[in-house]
Amino acid sequence: MTIKGIKGVKDLLPEETPRWRLIEETARRWAGLYGYREIRVPIFEVTALFARSIGASTDIVEKEMYTFPDRDGTSLTLRPEGTAGTVRAYIEHNRAADPLPQKYFYTGPMFRHERPQAGRLRQFHQFGVESFGTADPKADVEVIALLWRFLSDLQLPALTLEVNNLGYTTDREAYRPTLVAYLADRTAALCGNCQRRIETNPLRVLDCKVPECRTATENAPALADSLSDKARAYFASVLQGLNAIGIPYRQNHRLVRGLDYYCLTTFEVTTTNLGAQNAVGAGGRYDGLVETLGGPPTPAVGFAVGLERIAMMLPEGASASSEKNRTIYVAGFGERGSAAGLAALEELRRAGVIAVSDFRAGTLKAHLRQADRLGCGFSLILGDDEAQKGSAVLRNMQTKAQIETLLSSLVSQVKNSLASS
RNA sequence: GUGGGUGUAGCUCAAGGGUAGAGCGCCUGACUGUGGCUCAGGAGGCUGCGGGUUCGAAGCCCGUCACUCACCCCA
């Protein structure tokens, strides 16, 4: 029995990595343009970190974490998301004491033990940003703008931005009983899951996709109606900011995030063709989290996007710039020719020219076939005859034009040809 | 955790009880030092695995594993 990869964990083969580089480079570029700096935090942390930040009763913590004991018995967990570790690092290094705006981005693998399906894996990748220490609604606007510009730049189809106001914790605590009372009156009309949710997470009932639940909650009391003036004013400023900079959004009063730490602004960007999933990225404000994890009271906003989901949506031909036509294939054959070819390869590479060869090929025909398959712009033909003369033949693979060049002036000749093609 | 679908050549898929096939890809030759195109030839399979039914199983039955989609939940 040969060893295979783990369920829900995928290899990215060389054919696909250019698409991924395009996504990652675009993400880094936009994050940089907005003044976010990269942070790299560990891929695993003490389990308690995630339990405390994400929320002990969320699905992620209850049943989806890769948790294992360290040798001394400490419970460790592969990170299921990026915010917890970033916050931990922020606190641990006392970044609050630094007078600069604390704006971070991260990218990397996350782990959740779920049943894999389209757009959902056990090891998946996220890009995310966190803005610490700014309570101004402009910080929310900035984060949303960054998310929107980044995804728009990639030309993902049918992007929609939905925003909602969850209010302050006290607002939700005030609203919860009225919602529960409303739902309790019509449990029969709700799906089984929602009947359970009345206890565990009543707000989520509003976000249920089952049509019966949607109609049943049609006239439910809205969270928006029981928000405090302060929360309303805050959210109004966020919307005003989005209007001012031309970010199109839709208000969705039913939008509820799955993680416990969100407050005030929440948002989600959806798109099509993601199978049953439709969220590419989501985020919100989480003012209480830093304090919950033992840091000073710190306002914060952030988002995360799923890189696999972006990759699924990316137009077919999209990829980072190709290097193929700038590559020169060295066809060294025959005893002296292949020896001279090896030297030429190395010389070209040290001079900054992308140079390749297939050492399995023994004949010129086989070499040129490989050059063609690799899509190289030029081939350097170097057989025994040329080696004897101290020369080589440089062939333009498109035009078939060939020029003979001395090996002593190889690099300059090749660079000239590459530049003029 | 629950349910559906699918497992046949490197890839995409045919064959629905009677010798396992096609397209693409790969290798060789036509072209002995010139790629793509064309033509001719060739290699490649315990039909996921284990049992059962049958004279005979890729096919039917049972089990099992893998992949996949969906529920749940989420990025």
Task: State the pLDDT at residue A59.
Answer: 83
Torsion on CA atoms A22, A27, A32, A34, rounded to nearest 10: 140
- What is chain A's mean pLDDT, rounded? 91
Residue A81's domain comprises: 17-168+228-313
Residues A243 and A357 occupy one common structural domain? no
Percent of chain A residues topping a pLDDT of 90: 68
- The two structure tokens encoding residue A85: 């570790």
How many whole angstroms separate alpha carbon A67 and alpha carbon A47? 7
Domain for residue A5, yes or no? no
Q: Confidence class of residue A170 from pLDDT cuts 50, 70 and 90?
A: confident
The tally of domains found in chain A comes to 2
> Which long-range contacts does A135-141 make (Cβ < 8 Å, 24+ apart)?
A135/A287, A135/A299, A137/A234, A137/A235, A137/A237, A137/A238, A137/A241, A137/A265, A138/A237, A138/A241, A139/A299, A139/A301, A140/A238, A140/A241, A140/A264, A140/A265, A140/A285, A140/A301, A141/A238, A141/A241, A141/A242, A141/A245, A141/A247
Domain for residue A10, yes or no? no
A377 residue type, one letter: G
A73: domain CATH number? 3.30.930.10
Can you give the distance from the CA of residue A369 to the C1' of nucleotide B35 in angstroms? Answer: 4
Give the mean model confidence (pLDDT) for residues A130-149.
Answer: 97
Kindly determine whether the C-beta of residue A381 is less than 7 Å away from any atom of nucleic acid strand B. yes
Residues A331 and A298 occupy one common structural domain? no
Domain for residue A333, yes or no? yes
DSSP E strands: which ranges in A341-390?
A: 355-356, 378-382
A341: domain CATH number? 3.40.50.800
Percent of chain A residues topping a pLDDT of 70: 97
Domain for residue A198, yes or no? no
Kindly determine whether the C-beta of residue A386 is less than 7 Å away from any atom of nucleic acid strand B. yes
A360, closest nucleotide (Cα–C1'): B27
Residues A61 and A115 occupy one common structural domain? yes
Can you give the distance from the CA of residue A77 to the C1' of nucleotide B32 in angstroms? Answer: 65
* Chain A 47-66, CB < 7 Å to strand B: 58-60, 64
Domain for residue A214, yes or no? no
Task: State the pLDDT at residue A323.
Answer: 64
pLDDT digits (tens, 9 = 90+) for A354-367: 999 999 888 999 99
Residues A93 and A132 occupy one common structural domain? yes
pLDDT digits (tens, 9 = 90+) for A236-285: 999 999 999 999 999 998 887 767 788 899 999 998 777 777 899 999 99
Domain end among A289, A313, A337? A313
Domain end among A313, A343, A359? A313
Residues A265 and A403 occupy one common structural domain? no
Contact between A394 and A344 (Cβ < 8 Å):
no
Can you give the distance from the CA of residue A273 to the C1' of nucleotide B45 in angstroms? Answer: 36
Kindly determine whether the C-beta of residue A273 is less than 7 Å away from any atom of nucleic acid strand B. no
Question: Strand B: which bases are under 7 Å from protein Cβ?
Answer: 1-3, 26-28, 31-36, 66-75
Kindly determine whether the C-beta of residue A389 is less than 7 Å away from any atom of nucleic acid strand B. no
Residues A83 and A134 occupy one common structural domain? yes
Q: Confidence class of residue A172 from pLDDT cuts 50, 70 and 90?
A: confident
Give the mean model confidence (pLDDT) for residues A138-158.
Answer: 95
Can you give the distance from the CA of residue A360 to the C1' of nucleotide B25 in angstroms? Answer: 19
Q: What DSSP string describes A172-192?
A: HHHHHHHHHHHHHTTGGGS-H
pLDDT digits (tens, 9 = 90+) for A76-94: 999 999 999 999 999 999 9
Residues A295 and A362 occupy one common structural domain? no
Residues A139 and A44 occupy one common structural domain? yes
pLDDT digits (tens, 9 = 90+) for A205-241: 777 777 777 777 778 888 888 899 999 999 999 999 9
Task: State the pLDDT at residue A321.
Answer: 59
Strand ranges of the sheet holding A300-306, from the earlier edge strand across to the other edge: A37-38, A102-111, A123-132, A300-306, A279-285, A263-270, A160-165, A250-251
Kindly determine whether the C-beta of residue A258 is less than 7 Å away from any atom of nucleic acid strand B. yes
Domain for residue A175, yes or no? no
Residues A243 and A139 occupy one common structural domain? yes
Count CB-CB contacts under 10 A for residue A106. 22
A6, closest nucleotide (Cα–C1'): B66
Residues A330 and A376 occupy one common structural domain? yes
Residue entry with tokens 């398959």: A373
Residues A285 and A353 occupy one common structural domain? no
Q: Which helix (H) or strand (E) holds A132?
A: strand A123-132
Domain end among A290, A313, A336? A313
Can you give the distance from the CA of residue A17 to the C1' of nucleotide B54 in angstroms? Answer: 51
Residues A289 and A353 occupy one common structural domain? no
